[in-house]
Every structure is written in C-alpha cells, then in structure tokens.
Amino acid sequence: MVRPSKMLQTIFLVILCLWVNINGLGNGVVQQYYVNSSVCKMPYVDPFARKLMRKFQRDKLKLCHKDKGIVRSVFDYEMQQYRLQINENVARPMLETRKNATLECVYQKVLRNNTAKEPDDTYITLQSRPIVHQQLVPRDTDFMVTKCYAKDIKNSTELLQEDAMTFIQQMWPSTEKVRSQPSVLILGLDSVSRINLRRAMPSVYKFVSRPGWFEMQGYTKIGDNTFPNLMAVLTGHSEKGTEKVCDTSKPGCLDTLPFIWKRFKSANYTTAFAEDCESINTFNYLKGGFVKQPTDYYLRPLLVAIENNFNVTKRYGLSYCVGRQLSSSYVWNFGKQFIDRFLGRSPMFGFLWSNSFTHDEYTGATALDKLFLKYLKSVEETHLFERSIVILMSDHGQRYNLLRRAASGYFEERMPMMFIYIPPWFRLKYPALVENLNKNRNRLTSNYDVYMTLQHLLQLDSKSMDDFPDDLRAKQCPTCQSLFFEVPLNRTCQMAAIEEKWCCCQPTETIRRSPHVMTIALAIVERMNNHLQEQQLTGLCHNFSLKKVHKVDRKTILSTGLKPADKDEHVYIIEFSTFPKKPRFEATVRWNNRTNKLLDMDVEDLSRLNSYKKDANCINEKKAKIYCICKDSIKQERKLTSARRSLYTLADWFRCLYYRFKF
C-alpha cells in the first residue's frame, strides 16, 4: 500500500519535473566558453553536474606498510654523500619474538646494463654487502636494494624487511648561470582531465589556483593515449610523424628523436626522468625504450628490478605497492632528492610521471588528492617555487567508464590538465612574456605549444617565433608556438595540429531524431569489418555487428567559422556498441547526408570507451587492441551460431527501417 504522503510527494515531484521541462530551467543559463572566438567555441564544462556526481565515488588512501624502516638513508651535508643508518629500535621487537636472533642487514647496488641490446629492460644487481651503521654510500651508487634478516644461532636467516633506495648524490660542478636559467620541473599524473582535477582532487586544484599558476584552459590533446601526447610535448613529433623517421618499437629509434631534455643538457642543465609502473612505461610499453640512458638521473632500472623481485600489490589495475612503498612514491622521492641536490646549484630539468593511482580508475585520483598535496607542500619547503618553473600536467582525461560515458565524456577525454607555474623573479624579469601566457589561458593550445614553450625557456632573448630555426620547431606543427608569445585568438584546430577527432572547438548538439543515425552507424560497422579484412585480421579478430547506438552528437557549424566545402557534410560523434562481447566505441566521422556516404573514416582512430584488457590479448599491436575482439577471447563464452548472427543482421535491418520511417 502506498502511503498518502508518499503519493502526494510523488505527484508534487512529477509536477515539478513537468514545470522544469516546460520552463527549461537551465536552458536560460548563458553558455560559457573556455575559448570564445569566431572559429573556436570551446564550451565550459561543469565538473559537478548533478547526474554525474550522483554516481561519483571517492576512495580512501591505502598505505603499503605500517612498520618503520629498519634501514634508512640520510644525506650528510658535510660529506655531500648519503649515509645508511640502522634503526635498532625498530628491529628489536622483531628480534625479541625470534629467540636469540641477531640483526643482519645487507645491500646490493642496482644499475642499468648499458651494454645489453635493450638496456631499458635490464638491471644488474651486484653482490650483497653488509650494512654498517652510519656507513657512507659510495658516490657511484644510484640505487640499492636493502635486506634485513633475523639470524639465529644456527645461522639460519629469516627476511624481516626489504627496501629499495635511490641516491642522487653525484655532483655536477655548479655553474654560474643558475640564476638566469630557469629550472623546469614537470609533474605528470596520467589520465587526469582539467575537469576531473576539480572534482577528484580539490586540494591539489586549490594549490594550483594560487597566484603564479596559469591554467591553459584551451589546451587540447593531440592523440589517443599517453605515447603520442607525451611525444608531442617532449619531442614535437606525432606518433604518425615518427613512423617516417624510424620504428619506435625497435631499440635505438627513440634515441634519435629531439627529446627536449637533450637540449636542456647541452645548455648545462642537470636532467632527470622518472616514471612508475614499469610494465606500461610510456617509452617501453610496446616500444623499444632508450638504448643510451636518456637523462643524467633515470629511475627505470631500479623500478624494473624491484617490480620484478619485490612483492607487488595491485590496486586500481596497476602496481600499487612495490615492496614497502607506494610505486608512485619512488618517483616522487626521486624527484625530491633531485630538487634537494640541485636547486640553486645547477639549472635542472626534471620530468616525473606517475601512472599508478590514476591511469585506470578515476577513484585513484580521489585517494591521491591529500597525499599529492602533501608532496607539493614538501617541495614547496625546498623553495622550489621561488626559483623554478613547475608544470602540472596530464596526457589526456579518462578514456573509459563512468566519466567517459557521462554527458561531458567527449571533453573529459580531450582536456588534460595543464597548469604552468611561473616564479616571482621570472614574472618581474619577463613581464611581457608572462602577460602573453596569461592571455593564452583562454586560447586554443596543444601539446606542440608546450614543446615550443620549453624551447623558448632555453633562448629567452627571442623576440618572436622567427628566432626559432626549423630544427627547433615542432616537426608536426611548424605553426605551433611558445605560450610566452600571444597565440592568435582566431586559431583553428588545424593551426594547432589538433585533428578533427580531438577538436573541441565546435559545441555539439545531441541528435535524437534523425533518419541518418542508424544508417551512419551501420556504415561505420561495415567500415570496421572491411578494415579487419584489409589488415588481414579476420583470422584473429571477430567481425562486428551493430548492437546499439547509445548517443549521437553533431558538431555545430560555427556561423563565422570554417565551413565544409559541401553544405551537406556534418561531423557526427557516435557512441555505439557491437556484438560480440559488447565493446563500446565512439567514432567521430564526417557524413554527407545527400550522398549518404561516410567520408574518410579511419578505423584506427576509433575511441574505445570500455577497457579492452579482456578482449585483445591475441594481438600486440597497440592500435589494433582498441578494436580487435579476439576470437580466442570468446571461446569460453557461448559462440554465436550462424542463425543468431543472421538474426542480428536482420535486427539491424529492422532497426534501420524503424528509424527511417518513425522520424
């Protein structure tokens, strides 16, 4: 039985809903823009849209250990070297429970095998040596693994703790130019959009909203995943562009590219690069890695060693605890040591990247918020922000699941965070450059502009982009420019080398009633099937058949903007799923509704909105993983009989018919 009060409440709600619908509450709100020009209207996205927030979840931080470390390292400023200390107090209770045991700690130096064919995937651990309390760490030691044992009278040992340590201590002679050359530290969190930073990491967002920080609100990614986006920032190349130079999956190829840290090095900067989760490292996952160690300080050898030898706990889909530490804390601690050693002594360039919390699940970002704020505050105490340019950035937003499927999902994926901090002395010395940066916050910008900005920091006396010779320009976007020069207001995506698929300049309208929708979706699926044949993948990957169209958006054609050559041509963003295994895709396609033709759709550019992890194990090619539904992945599931398959085809046909006549 329904209680009368409940019924009244329901009636009231229904009336309210009707009223809201009729009066269009919310429609009266003026659309705001991140970029507002005649050729680019990038719509503002409300991070706290109620529909999404209802499902948005927060997660608590989980630490990896509760006990204290038996061995720790401290920097001895007098000796300019690290010392190892053994904390007997920590060990004592452990020994007391093991009768008559004595403590024995050893270390092993870890290094890169520079003579191996793929040095990035190797490490060498040297012979164990006993640790003596207060002993100095040899200057040539970058990394070590420590182990502490309880040893009983029969000499049998039990491992109590193992840990890994980094030491940035080898000194480069300090240079005179420290004061005039700005140090640059780039901090990266994978898959964090500007929109989600506000939602998931409010403390960090508050930190980067302080004076001196500039948020590039019109910053748009140029490629799908991490590799192309970081390539553009660090080398000025696109993924497709490098294919013409060499094969990035072969060792040695990446070494030949103009990584920006090379130019910083030749300007006498000290350089560092660190990234967590070694199996998915940007330059190693399905790539050849670096043959020559890319930067003066390079964390990878240690991470390869410990992720393969320590106990690893997975969380958010990736290595979370490696031994007793969070995998990301190896990166942040390494960065902190780098700052501690070189700030004020040598100009420095550091690139620190963390995947572990944020790569796979947005809830990881919520758990990281307070911890990352603590880190920012700890580097603030080193006076980093008094001297250096600091960039907090990401490669792209969330590419699947809740955030991606929300109404704002298109923008979520395409708007990585990009916050640039300029220290006070720089603002005083270069007010015009900083004013330009300030204006550019609301201009259309891309990864290649960040590459040029880093180039600019190495030649601050430049008057304009004319002062940059071709070999310093971003190869894939010669028209891209330093963010310290004013970016033209009427810049198009093309001018910033942002492909149509990633372009956020035209607001979209959702199409509900259009006879074209099914026709377009079926044409896309047909195109996908043809692509499998062209790529000779039909042996491995299953054919597609349309399951459902979830959403269709059409990009509006700006009245003053660039118009397509044919007035019947429109850009559609179609979200759909297919059989078998119901993968969810998003295609951005040009469609001519007079000729009913799909124009130049590249299947390799499809977005995949759910994880392909369980579908694509039969294939190693990164691009193909997005769309290949491996036949061997469906063997366990009920195989589609040919009758069922024809039923689907028939269903497609009816659905198409239905849409044609209904509207």
Residues that bind ligand NAG (CB under 6 A): 30, 32-33, 36, 39, 99-100, 113, 115-116, 124, 154-155, 159, 162, 177, 267-268, 311, 488, 490, 526, 529-530, 533, 543, 568, 593-594
Least CB distance to ligand NAG at residue 353 (A): 26
**Which of 110, 122, 89, 146 is closest to 325 using CA atoms?**
146
C-beta of 249 vs 543, nearer to ligand NAG = 543
**Which of 74, 92, 109, 110 is closest to 160 using CA atoms?**
92
**Which of 243, 265, 268, 267 is closest to 254 using CA atoms?**
243
Least CB distance to ligand NAG at residue 104 (A): 10
The b/e string for 296-332 (b: 16+ C-beta within 10 A; e otherwise) is bbbbbbbbbbbbebbebeebbbbbbbbbbbbbbbbbb
Q: How far apart are CA 340 and CA 195, in angstroms?
A: 32
- Mapped onto helix, strand or coil, the DSSP state of residue 151 is strand
Least CB distance to ligand NAG at residue 545 (A): 8
Task: Give the helix/strand (H/E) hosting 349.
Answer: strand 348-354
C-beta of 140 vs 568, nearer to ligand NAG = 568
- Mapped onto helix, strand or coil, the DSSP state of residue 643 is helix
**Which of 398, 346, 396, 394 is closest to 372 using CA atoms?**
394
Write phi, then psi, for 408 (nearest 5 degrees): -90, 10
C-beta of 399 vs 570, nearer to ligand NAG = 570
Write phi, then psi, for 372 (nearest 5 degrees): -70, -35
Structure tokens at 476: 């894939």
DSSP 8-state code for residue 180:
T
Least CB distance to ligand NAG at residue 305 (A): 12
C-beta of 154 vs 513, nearer to ligand NAG = 154
Which amino acid, residue 349?
A: F
Write phi, then psi, for 10 (nearest 5 degrees): -65, -45
Least CB distance to ligand NAG at residue 161 (A): 7
C-beta of 279 vs 530, nearer to ligand NAG = 530
C-beta of 76 vs 255, nearer to ligand NAG = 255
CA distances (Å), origin 590, targets 32, 235, 284, 397, 521 = 26, 30, 34, 24, 12
C-beta of 29 vs 428, nearer to ligand NAG = 29
Structure tokens at 246: 């060499």
Which amino acid, residue 597?
A: K
State how far Cα 200 lies from the chain centre.
Answer: 15
Least CB distance to ligand NAG at residue 534 (A): 10
C-beta of 12 vs 663, nearer to ligand NAG = 663
C-beta of 162 vs 586, nearer to ligand NAG = 162
Structure tokens at 111: 């290094």
Least CB distance to ligand NAG at residue 272 (A): 18
C-beta of 334 vs 591, nearer to ligand NAG = 591
The total number of residues shown for the chain amounts to 663
Task: Tell me if 292 sits within 8 A of 255, measured CB to CB.
Answer: yes
Task: Tell me if 546 sits within 8 A of 576, measured CB to CB.
Answer: yes
Least CB distance to ligand NAG at residue 38 (A): 7
Least CB distance to ligand NAG at residue 71 (A): 13
C-beta of 208 vs 528, nearer to ligand NAG = 528
Least CB distance to ligand NAG at residue 591 (A): 9
Least CB distance to ligand NAG at residue 530 (A): 5
